Structure 1
Amino acid sequence: MSSSSTLRDPRVAQALDRMFTRAEQDDAAFQRAADRRPEGFDDTDSQQRADAWSEIYMPISADAGRLLYTLIRAVRPKTVVEFGMSYGISTLHLAAAVRDNGAGRVLTTEMSAAKIEAARRTFEETGLRDVITVLEGDALHRLPEELDADGAGSQVDFVLLDGWKDLYIPVLRALEPRLAPGALVIADDTTFESVKPYLDYVRDPANGYEGVTFPVEDGMEISCRL
């Protein structure tokens, strides 16, 4: 286990600075994407959305990234699952913490081929690719497939939900049979109206979670699997 933070490695710090700077242009990128959407575009189709918004970073904030890093260093999960990699800003924070713990892995999901290609280059450049597995395609299918391939004993200890908000509940439900007791589930953007059904779900005692909202950027819900 490292006594220093990989987030301070110049390769990682420079990559994060570069991506956060590019993410400042998200509003303009969103407008360009909206202007060129083809006729018949279906915003409920996850792959179409991913392809249409492939220029947009949609990142967590720097404070949220440090929160994720800190939580992983504290709880020392063996398997970290991320729903919604985008260009990999959040993934770098997760992977840096796993690296510094000295054990563990990050399984992350993304549907945009362009984002996956760019993120893999970044993971290679930062020296973190060996602790990251990128699953391309529908997280609802790819995550169970990957975890099942690891055997019946495979458990998930830490989850970050930061993909399409309408899929937060389906992805969590798909992971629930594999959640270890005490697993942490972090959901980003809790101030969004589209996240309300998810919040209702994890705040219902019948569903087996206890949690709290953390006031960072657009809000994060931190839930513990009881």
Structure 2
Amino acid sequence: MNSLTDPRVADVIARLHQEAEAADQPVLEDRPGGAMADEDLIRRTLEEEARDYRSLYHRYADNYFSVSPTFGQFLYVCARTTRSRLVIEYGTSFGVSTLYLAAALRDNGAGHLVTTELEPAKAARAQENLAEAGLADLVDVRVGDALDTLRAEPAEPVDLLLLDGAFSLYLPVLRLVEPYLRPGALVVAENAIEAVSDYRDHVRAPHNGYLTLTVPFDETRGNELSLRTG
């Protein structure tokens, strides 16, 4: 028995995955190749982010672009395996990945999740979803640019960092949190494929203190899993 099988949690997660599919499918079908991890698509997204990432993601304020059920379970396993007490998530959206991580913290017996979302309406909906699932007491939902909301030093070492927002901010957000990652902490970067080269170069360079491998999920998604070694 785990919290993912708790009817309150399971029902909210199932509903959100259904809503995500309905909301995102029309957008994905309009994109060349129809694949979120398409290299050309990521490159074009990075170019748009460089011009104005706030406006770009405001355009998708009604879209989820959330993790899959398989990836969500992977996040749960990561948080349980590391016995995480403090998890930081960059990119809340409507709270799908947040729910998987918060469920893991509950099953760890204690913990706290800090998650940050640029769009106020999405953050509010995520808070509602967490409350409905009975997990809101474990989560601090911060609204605003992650480069501001994650600037303060956390109260304890960070056990797990999830990067799932604007691709161009993966490395800047990591650098904000990096001083507080404990040895043995995990960093999970969703869709950090070849086009997100600055981030991948950083975590793959041995002198930066990570052991990194690419973890394939859902056929088209390339994801970087990095262990903080020192």
When the two structures are superposed, what TM-score results if normalisation uses the length of structure 2? 0.85
Q: Check if 1:209 corresponds to 2:210.
A: yes
Q: CA deviation at 1:30?
A: 6.9
Q: Aligned-residue CA RMSD in angstroms?
A: 1.8
Which consecutive segments of 4 or more residues in structure 1 shift more than 2 A? 27-32, 42-47, 193-197
Contact 1:165 1:194 in 2 (8 A): no
Q: CA deviation at 1:79?
A: 0.6
Q: What are the within-5 Å matches in structure 2 for residues 5-20 of structure 1? A: 5-20=2-17
* Residue in 1 that maps onto 2:160: 158
**AA matched with 1:62:** P
* Residue in 1 that maps onto 2:177: 175
Cα distance in structure 2, aligned partners of 1:128 and 1:106: 10
- Number of aligned residue pairs: give it: 208
Q: CA deviation at 1:194?
A: 3.3
* Residue in 1 that maps onto 2:137: 130
* Residue in 1 that maps onto 2:196: 195
**AA matched with 2:211:** E
Contact 2:79 2:105 in 1 (8 A): yes
The worse-fitting range, judged by mean Cα deviation, of 43-52 and 128-137 is: 43-52
Secondary structure at the counterpart of residue 24 of structure 1: helix
* Residue in 2 that maps onto 1:186: 188
**AA matched with 1:204:** A
Q: CA deviation at 1:104?
A: 0.8
- Which runs of 5 or more structure 1 residues have no equivalent in the other structure? 33-41
Structure showing greater relative contact order (alpha-carbon pairs closer than 8 Å, 6 or more residues apart):
2
**AA matched with 2:212:** G
Cα distance in structure 2, aligned partners of 1:109 and 1:50: 14
Q: CA deviation at 1:115?
A: 0.5
* Residue in 1 that maps onto 2:126: 119
Contact 2:167 2:192 in 1 (8 A): no
* Residue in 1 that maps onto 2:25: 27
**1:172-216 superposed Cα distances (whole Å, 9 cap, x missing partner):** 01111111111110111134x432321121101121111211111
Cα distance in structure 1, aligned partners of 2:84 and 2:157: 10
Cα distance in structure 2, aligned partners of 1:46 and 1:96: 30
Aligned with 1:142 (options 129, 138, 149): 149
Contact 2:115 2:140 in 1 (8 A): yes
- Which runs of 5 or more structure 2 residues have no equivalent in the other structure? 31-47
Q: Check if 1:220 corresponds to 2:223.
A: yes
When the two structures are superposed, what TM-score results if normalisation uses the length of structure 1? 0.86
Question: Share of identical aligned residues, percent?
Answer: 43
Q: CA deviation at 1:17?
A: 1.2
